[in-house]
Structure 1
Amino acid sequence: MRRSSFLTRNNTLYCVLILLTVASAHGAVADDNLLELTPADSLFCIRINNLGETLKAVDSFTGGLSKSQMKLESLVTSQLGAMLGDPNLALIDTSGNFAVFGLPLHEQPAPALVVVVPVKDYTSLIRSSPVFGEPDEAGISKITSKALPLPPLISMAAPGNKFAMITTATQSNALFFIKNDLSGKTLASSLDADEQKKATGSPIWAWSNMPAVSRQYGTVVQGGLESLKKTLQTMPQNQPANPDAIIKIYADILTTLLNETRFLSITITPSADLMRSETTIATVPGTDSAKMLTATASSIRQNKLLKYLTNGAMMNFAYKTNAPFWKGLNARSIDLMMSFASGDLSEEDKKAIEAVSAKMIDTLGEYLAGAMTIDKSSTPPFTYTYFAEIKDVDKFNEAFDESTELWMRLSDVFLKGLGMETTFSVERNTAVYEGVTIDSAMLTMKYTDPNFPQAETINAMYAEGFSYRFAIVDKLLVCAVGADSDLKIRALIDTVKRGGPKTLSSEIVEAQKLIPNADSADFFGTYNYIRLFEIAGAFMPIPDTGNMQMPTIDVPSKSNIALAGHITDGKITTTIALPKEHLIEMQAAFEQFQKQFTPPKPTPAHKHK
C-alpha cells in the first residue's frame, strides 16, 4: 500500500476551501476556547478569526485589481456550505474562529489533519444536514458530500457542542485523542502570553512547532536534500556553483531552523488599503541562535541616521548595531561563503575573517543606514549611499585596512566557486575636501564562464566597476558608490557638516506609519518594485531580440513596501506592510511592460520556385 504524504491533494482540499484565505482587520475574542482544543504537540496550527469579516476585508483589499474578480467571500462560503450540507450557513457560525492543525500519530506516517469549524449547535447541524450520517456510539458521523470531490470524512462534536471537529475517515484516533486525552496539554497552556494574544487577536495566525516538525520530518528533509543533490549533479555543467555547495547551504539553514527554533509564527492583517504580515521566530534557549537574539539599550530609540535617507530610492535600510546579532549573523555568513570556496580556504583563514569582522563591528557606534537608487544613465545603473556611526575612528581604520588586505588575498577563493573573478583596490587620501580626507576604492567583477546565463549582460553592466568614495566626518562614516561618486561624497560631507536634514523625508514618514512601533525598530527599510522595474530589462536574458528595444517603465510611484524588525531576548519579529497603492502601481507597471514587449515574429521561409 502506498503511504500518504504529509499533505496529499485529497487530504488538503477540504482544508483549502476553508483556510486558503488571508484575514480581516477584526480580531477574535480571547475566550473562544479554540486554543483549548489544539494539542500542544501539534506540528502546526492555522486559524482564521471571524471568517466573515476576514473574507470581506480581503475582498476590500483586492477590490478593483481585476475586472473579472470573484469575491472571495462568496467563493469560500459557498464551498463551505456545500461541504457541510448547509448552503445558507444557517448553523455555521461565520463570525466565529476556524482552525486546522496537524497532529502527529505514532501509528501513522502522516499526521492527522483536523479542521475545527464553529457551529451554532452541533446536534442541530448533523440532524438537518443531508451530508452528515447518524453518529455512532462514539459520536462519530460520516460526511458524504456529492457536491465536492472530497475524501471520506468524519466529524465529531467538540466539548460544548459549539465546534465540529472534522478529519479523514482513517484518522479517527485524532478525534478521540482531542476529546479524551488532552489533559490540559494544549496551546492554551504552552503558548506564551504574547503568542496567545496574536493567536486570538490576529485575523489570521499560523504557527509551527519546530521541535515536533524536526522529530517528524528531519530524516525526510535530509533525504530530500540528497535527492535534490543528485538532480543538480545531472544538470548542465554551465552553472557557477557546484551542487555540493548549494546542498550544504540548504542543509545548514534547515538544520539550524529545525534544531534551534522553538516555533515560527505568522500573522496577516489586511484592510482596505494595506496588507500587513508579521513573522516571529523564537529560538531554543541556550543555542547559538538564542545568543544572537539579545535586546540592546538602543532598541527603544529611533535610529537617528534615518534623516539621511531621501525620497526616490529603490531601497532604503537602517539598522542598529546589535553586536551579538551581527557577530552571529556574520559568522554564519562566513560558513555559507565557505561552501562556495574553491578549496583553498584554511581554518586559519576562516578564523582570521571572523576575527577581523568582529573587530570591525566593535568599532561601530549605535546606528547605520543606507540607500540604493536607480540611475539608468550610469554603469552600473544604480548608486549606493551609506552612513555608519563610528565609535573609535583609529580602531575602525585599523580594522578596515586588515579586512581589505584579507579580502584582496582571499576574494578569488570565494568567488571562483561562483564562477566569478574580481579585482579590488583601495587608495587612501585620494583627496581632501573641506578639511575632510576622502578615500577611494574600485571593485570590478565578471563571470568567467561565457556559457553562464546572463553572463554577457552582467559583465557589460558591471564593466566599469564600482567606484567607491568614503570619508569620516565627526565620527560618521559616509560612503558613495557608483557613477559620480566623487561628486556625491562631497555633497554628503556638506550635508553632514550642516548637521544633516532637520526632518525625515516624506517617504520614510509614510512608511513608518504603516507599521506599529516602526520608529523604534532594530532594523527598518523600504522597497520600491516600480523603481526596480525601471532597470529590470537589463537583467532579462531575451535571445534573438534583433533590433527590438527593451520595454521601458514609466509609472510614477508614490508608495513603498515597508519592513521593520525588533529583536528581543530569544526572538526576532519582522513586519512587512504592502500598501494597496503600491500593488496598483505594480499592476500598472506590468501592464506597460506586457504592452511594449512583443517578441519578434519569425521570418517566413522563402519559397523556392
Structure 2
Amino acid sequence: MNSRTFQPLGIIIFSLVVALCASPGVHAANDDALLNTLPGDCMFCVRVNNFNESLGKLDSYLAGASPIPVSLAMMANMQLGAAIGDPMLTGIDQGGNFAAFALFPETEGAEPLIGILVPVTDYKKFIETNPNCKPAENGLTLLTAPNSMQGDFLLARASEKYALAGPPTEKAAILAVQKALTAESKLAKRLSADQTKAAATAPVWAYVNLAKLYDKYNKDALAMLAITYEEMAKAGGGMEEMMGFQFKMLAAAFKEFAGEADSATIALTPEPTILSVDVALQAKDGTDLSKMLVADKSTDGYTLSRYLDNNDAVNGLMKMNRPLMQKFYGKMFDIMEAATNESSSKEQTAKMKSLTQKMIAAMGDEVSISYSYASSTPPFKMQEVIEIKDSAAMKALMAEGMDYANTLYKDMGIPVELKYEQSVSTYKDATIDVISISMGKSDDPNNVMRKELEKIYGDDFKYYMAQTNDKFFITMGPDSEKTLKSLIDQPALVSAPSGDIKIAMDALQNTPYTPYDDFVCSVNVIKLIKGMGEMMRTMGVHADMGPGFNMFSSLESIEPKSCLVMGGTVSDGGASLRVAVPKQHLIEVVAMAMQIQQKAMKVQQEMMQNQQPDMTPQMQNSGSSQSPTPIREVPRNPLLSWVGKPAPDMKMTDLYGKTHRISRLKGKKVILDFWATWCPPCKKAIPDLIELAGNGNSNLVILGLSNEATDILTPFAKEAKINYPIIAYNDKNVSAPYNKVTAIPTLFLIDSEGIIQDVLTGYHEPEELRSRLKEIK
C-alpha cells in the first residue's frame, strides 16, 4: 500500500522520526520474531510491544491527568474488534507486538510502501474461522466486517504469527510488501545488541534508517531548502544577504552531519508516575561524526548547581566534553568558511576557529545556565557560570575575539555590532566587563526584520561578565549587574542540588539507566508560560484587544511542584537523550491549559455580549411589523435537562472503604461534587464544602467524586483536611448523567426526595451555594 493510504500514520511517524536518536554499533544476532520478519532496509519501523499491557501502562500514567477520562486500551480494542467484526478479538494475539513500517520505493518518484503487521495466534486458523474473511485473488483474504468504521481490509500472510493488513484498493502494494518480507536480509541483523534489547522490551519503540533516507532523499531536501530561501528573498525585508549566508551554512551542515548519520531509535516507557522518551542517534562507523561523538570521562558528577536560579523556567548543568566541542566547532567554522565568498571573511573565520579552540582549552570541566522570559527589554534573562582553568588566557581571548567577530558579522551582512568595555567596575577583587550588542539602524522602510529586532532588543542590550581564578560569570536581562554580584557571592563549597534541577536528577537516577553524563536539564513549563505572558505584555502583544484580554492573568494560582526532565550523553559514536515527563507536571500543565481555555472563553463571551446591539425603546415602539433580530444566547448546559428528574442510583466506595448509594440518601439534601486535585476552581471550592459539611447539618450529605487514582486522592484529602467522603470513580462504571460531565467542578444538587434540582458548573461563591441549597427541600 502506498503512503497516501496511511497519510495520518505517515505524518505521525515522520514527526517522530525527525527527532529520533541509537546506541553503540555492536551487532548481534537475535531471535525476536518481529525483527526477523521485517526487511533489513526498512525506511522506518514503529512497534507496540505487549499491546494490551503497554496501553494499560499508558492508561495508568494518564489516570487523573487527562481532563476527559479515557482508556486507550479499551478504545484500541474496540476499534480492533470493529475492524475484524469480533469484539472478543478471537485469533488476535492481544499480548503480541503490533508494528507499522515503510519500505523504500524501488523506482524513482514512487512513494514508500507502508505495511501494518497484526499479531495473530495462527494466521491460517484466523482467516478460516473468522466469518468475515473471504478468499481473494493471489492468495489474499478480504476482511469485510459489518459496521466497521475503518472499512474493509485485505490480509496477506506475513508469517504464521503475523497478518499483513491494508486497504483493498492497494492489492499490488500489499503483494509487493509481502514479497519484501521474504527477503533474506532482516532488520534483526542490522541492529546492535542494545537496539535489539530496547526493541523487544520498550512498550513503544521506533527505528529509522537515516543512512538510506539521506542517500534517497538528500537532493530533494536541499532543493526544498533552496526554494524556501528563494521565497523568503522575494518577500524582501532587507536581510537577504544575511539569510543567503545562513541558508548556505544550513545546507552545508545538513550534508556534513546528516550524511554521516546511520540510524536512529526512540523508545517510550510509561510508568505510573513518569513517562520517559529515550532518543538515540548512531553515526556511521569511521566518519567524522562518529569520531566527534566520544565520551570525556575526565570528571564525574556535577558541582555547580548552587549557581542555578530555581525561579527561572530552564536550569541546566553541562560537562565540558572537550573532544566533542573542539571537533564540533572546528567543523562549524570550516562550514562557515566555505559558505562565505569574501576573502577577508575567510581570514577572519580561520582566526575565530583558532581562537575558539584556545578558549575551549582554557575552560574548566562544567557549565551551569539558567534562563527565563522576563518583563523587560530584551524580554528574557540568563545567567551562566563556566569553570575555567586559565583565567588570564580567557580574558585575553575575549578581547581578541570581539574584533574578529565584528569584522566577520560585517562581511556576512549581519546587522550587529559588539562593543567590549573592560573593567567598568570591580567587586570583591573580580573585574566586571560589559559587552554591548547593538542592532544596526536601517533607513530602509521595508526592512521588517530589523525593525522587529529593534522592537525586541531595543537600541542595544548588555552582557555583564566577571572572572575569578576559576569561574567565568555571565548575566543578561533585568538587574544583570546585581545578579552577577550575587553569583560571585555564592560560597565556594559545593552544595546539594535543590529545586527543579534536583527533581530532574532524581527522575533520571530512578530510571533504568542514567543517560546524563554530559548534561542534565529541567524545564518548568508553568514558569515558562508565565514568563511568556510577562514578555507578551511588555511587547504589547494583544494590546489592541483591550486590557481585558490577558489569558495568562489567572496562572498565578498555579504553583508548580515538578518539571520536565532532560538528560543526555555521547559515547562510542552515538548520542543519547532522555526526556521524562513526571505525572505531577503533566497534571499541572493540564490545569494551566484549562485555566487559559476558561479565560479565553470568558473573554470571547464578553466580546460577543459587547457586540450585541441594544434593543432601544425606539426599536421596541417603532410599530414595524418586522421582528427584531433575537439576541444570541449562550448555549445551555446540557446537564440541566436532568433538573426535575430522579437522580439515577449509583453505588460508590469512598477512600476508607465505606459504601454509599444515592438511593439510600433520601430524606437528605445531597451535593455530588465532580472535581480533581489538579483543578484550581475545584480546589478553591473545597474550603466552602468543608465548611458546609462541618456546620452540623445532618440533613446535608456531600460526596466528592474524582476519576483520579486513590494514591493521588488519599494524601490530598488528608492534607486539605476534607471532612466529607471522597470517591475515586471510573467513567465506565457510572451511568448518565454522571458520565456526561465534561467540565469541572460540576455539582449536582439533589433534594430530599432524590430529585435533581440544579447542576452547577464552575466555581460558585459560598453565599450563592448556600442560597441555592435553602431553596430546595
TM interval, short-chain normalised: 0.7 to 0.9
Q: Which one of 567, 571, 575 corresponds to residue 572 of structure 1?
A: 575
Alpha-carbon spacing, 1:482–1:177, altered in 2? closer, same or farther (3 Å): closer
From the superposition, tell whether residues 387 and 346 of structure 1 become closer, same or farther in structure 2 (CA, over 3 Å).
same
Name 1:348's counterpart in structure 2.
347
Q: Tell me what 1:484 maps to.
A: 479
1:221 aligns with 2:221: yes
Q: Return the alpha-carbon distance in structure 1 between the equivalents of residues 210 and 328 of structure 2.
A: 21
Aligned: 1:398 with 2:396: yes
Residue 308 (structure 2) aligns with: 309
Conserved 8 A contact 1:338-1:345: no
* Contact map agreement 1:13 1:150 (CA 8 A) in 2: no
The answer on 1:432 being equivalent to 2:426 is: yes
Change (3 A) 1:400 1:222: closer
Equivalent residue runs for 1:162-241 within 5 Å = 162-167=161-166, 168-171=170-173, 172-179=175-182, 181-182=183-184, 185-229=185-229, 231-233=231-233, 236-238=235-237, 240=239
Contact kept, 8 Å, 2:67 with 2:590, in 1: the verdict is: no
Cα 1:113–1:398 change in 2 (3 A) is: same
**Pick aligned residue for 1:471 from 457, 466, 472:** 466
Counterpart in the other structure of 1:24: none
Q: How does 1:17-56 map to 2 (within 5 A)?
A: 31-56=31-56
Q: Secondary structure at the match of 2:262?
A: strand
User: What does residue 140 of structure 1 align with?
Assistant: 140
Choose from 530, 537, 540 the match for 1:534.
530
Is 1:323 matched up with 2:322?
A: yes
Structure 2: distance between partners of 1:543 and 1:559 = 32
Task: List per-residue Cα deviations over 1:194-218 (Å, max 9, x = no partner).
Answer: 1111111111111111222234333
Residues 1:47 and 1:355: Cα distance change in structure 2 (over 3 Å): same
Partner of 1:506: 499
Aligned ranges for residues 149-168 of structure 1 at < 5 Å? 153-159=153-159, 161-167=160-166, 168=170
Any idea what the Cα deviations from partners look like across 1:346-374, whole Å, max 9, x if unmatched? 22222222221222111111111111245
Percent sequence identity over aligned pairs: 26
Cα deviations across residues 556-579 of structure 1 (Å, max 9, x unaligned)? 122111111110021001111122
> How many equivalent residue pairs?
582
Cα distance, 1:38 vs structure 2: 1.3
> Does the CA contact (< 8 Å) of 2:236 and 2:446 recur in 1?
no
Q: Secondary structure at the match of 2:295?
A: coil
AA in 1 matched with 2:506: K
Taking only aligned residues, the RMSD between alpha carbons, in angstroms, comes to: 3.7
- Mapping of 1:92-107 within 5 angstroms? 92-106=92-106
Instruction: Supply the AA of the counterpart residue of 2:102.
Output: G
The question of whether the paired residues in 2 share the 8 Å contact of 1:387 and 1:477 is answered with: yes
Q: Does 1:459 align with 2:493?
A: no
Kept after mapping to 2: 8 A contact 1:318/1:523: yes
The residue number in structure 1 matching 2:123 is 122
Q: Does the aligned pair in 2 maintain the 1:294–1:570 contact within 8 Å? A: yes
TM-superposed CA distance for 1:311, in Å, is 2.0
Per-residue CA shift, 1:86-107, capped at 9, x if unaligned?
Answer: 3221221111111122223525
Deviation at 1:315, TM superposition (A): 0.9
The Cα of 1:224 is off from its aligned counterpart by 3.7
Query: Structure 1 residues 81-90 or 350-359, which shifts more?
Result: 81-90
Q: Tell me, what secondary structure is at the counterpart of 2:545?
A: coil
SS in 1 for 2:116: strand
How far apart in 1 are the matches of 2:355 and 2:560? 41
> What residue is the counterpart of 1:27 in the other structure?
none
Letter in 1 for 2:501: I
One-letter code aligned to 1:113: I
Residues 128/509 of structure 1: CA separation in 2 closer, same or farther (3 Å cut): same
Q: Give the Cα separation in 1 of the matches to 2:136 and 2:576.
A: 45
Contact 1:380 1:464 in 2 (8 A): no
1:293 partner amino acid: L
SS at match of 1:440: strand
Unaligned runs of 5+ residues in structure 2 are 17-29, 617-777
Task: Report if aligned partners of 2:273, 2:584 keep a CA contact under 8 Å in 1.
Answer: yes
How many angstroms apart in 1 are the aligned matches of 2:388 and 2:514?
24
Equivalent position of 1:442 in the other structure: 436
Q: TM-score, normalising length from structure 2?
A: 0.67
Q: Deviations over 1:303-353 (max 9, x none)?
A: 222342242221112211112322343345557778998979622222222
Contact 2:348 2:407 in 1 (8 A): no
TM-score, normalised on structure 1? 0.84
Q: For 1:71 and 1:165, how far apart are their aligned partners in 2? A: 26
C-alpha separation between the residues in 2 aligned to 1:328 and 1:371?
26
Secondary structure at the aligned position of 2:88 is classed as coil
**Would the alpha carbon gap of residues 544 and 318 (structure 1) be closer, same or farther in structure 2, given more than 3 Å must change?**
same
- Which residue identity does 2:347 align to in structure 1? E
Is residue 49–residue 200 contact of structure 1 (8 Å, CA) maintained in 2?
Answer: yes
Contact 1:11 1:151 in 2 (8 A): no
Shift of 1:120: 1.6
Q: In structure 1, what is the Cα distance between the partners aligned to 2:10 and 2:452?
A: 45
Once the two structures are superposed, residues 140-185 of structure 1 have per-residue CA deviations (whole angstroms, 9 ceiling, x without a partner) of: 32334564466875433344x2222334411213213423x32xx2
Query: Judging changes above 3 Å, is the alpha-carbon distance between structure 1 residues 531 and 175 closer, same or farther for their aligned structure 2 residues?
Result: same
In structure 1, stretches of 5+ residues that fail to align are 22-29
Amino acid at match of 2:114: L
Q: Is contact 1:334–1:354 with CA below 8 Å preserved after alignment?
A: yes
Superposed displacement of residue 519, structure 1: 8.0
Secondary structure, aligned partner of 1:489: helix
Change (3 A) 1:46 1:523: same
Q: Which residue of 2 aligns with 1:26?
A: none
| Amino acid of the structure 1 residue aligned with 2:399 | D
- 1:256 Cα offset (Å): 4.0
| Alignment-mate amino acid for residue 174 of structure 1 | V
Task: Tell me how far 1:381 sits from its aligned partner.
Answer: 4.3
Distance 1:342 1:543 in 2: 44
State how 1:356-371 maps to structure 2 within 5 Å. Answer: 356-371=355-370
Q: 1:383 to 1:214 in 2, by over 3 A?
A: closer
Deviations 1:98-156 (A, max 9, x none): 112222352582333222221122222111223422377x7532334564466875433
> Superposition pairs for residues 35-114 of structure 1, below 5 Å?
35-106=35-106, 109-114=110-115
**8 A Cα contact 1:295 1:569, kept in partner:** yes
CA distance in 2, matches of 1:16, 1:152: 22
Structure 1 residue 50: Cα displacement: 0.9
Residue in 1 that maps onto 2:519: 523
Separation in structure 2 between the aligned mates of residue 549 and residue 461 of structure 1, nearest angstrom = 21
Q: CA deviation at 1:531?
A: 1.5
- 1:209-239 Cα offsets, whole Å, 9 max, x none, are 12222343334434444554554455x3348
Question: What's 1:591 paired with?
Answer: 594
- Which deviates more, 382-391 or 247-256? 247-256
SS, match of residue 83 in structure 1: helix
Structure 2: how far apart are the matches of 1:340 and 1:146? 61
- Is residue 340–residue 346 contact of structure 2 (8 Å, CA) maintained in 1? no
CA 1:450–1:526: 2 relative to 1, 3 Å:
farther
Paired residue for 2:291? Answer: 291
Partner of 2:27: none
Contact 1:308 1:500 survives alignment (8 Å): no
Residue 379 to residue 204, structure 1, CA distance change in 2 (3 Å):
same
Cα distance in 2 for residues equivalent to 1:443 and 1:507: 31
1:291 and 1:274 map into 2 onto residues whose CA distance is: 34
- Choose 1 or 2 for highest CA Rg: 2
